[in-house]
Amino acid sequence: MQCSACKTPMESLGQVPVRVGGTSGPWHLLMGEWADMTERVFPLDVYRCQQCRRVELFDLDLSLPTR
């Protein structure tokens, strides 16, 4: 991967799980664990530029749903 800002090679920091969906606030208090039934976790690849310290997230394995 190359940095989109300075075009130097980026260092891979691995994958981070990103939670998507579910509910929060009063609905979560009322429904408890049922509120999280629509929640999913997607792994995103994290890269950091050694020169400008920019951090970028990528969906390299195409795990995110299409819109």
Q: Would you state the pLDDT for residue 27?
A: 61
Q: Which of these, 32, 16, 15, lies nearest to 24 by C-alpha position? A: 32
Q: Could you count the other beta carbons within 10 Å of the beta carbon of residue 49?
A: 20
pTM: 0.66
- In tens digits, the chain (67 residues) has pLDDT values of 899 899 999 999 999 988 776 666 666 556 666 566 667 788 899 999 999 999 999 988 777 667 6
Q: Would you state the pLDDT for residue 50?
A: 92
C-alpha–C-alpha distance, residues 57 and 47, integer Å: 7
Q: Would you state the pLDDT for residue 1?
A: 85
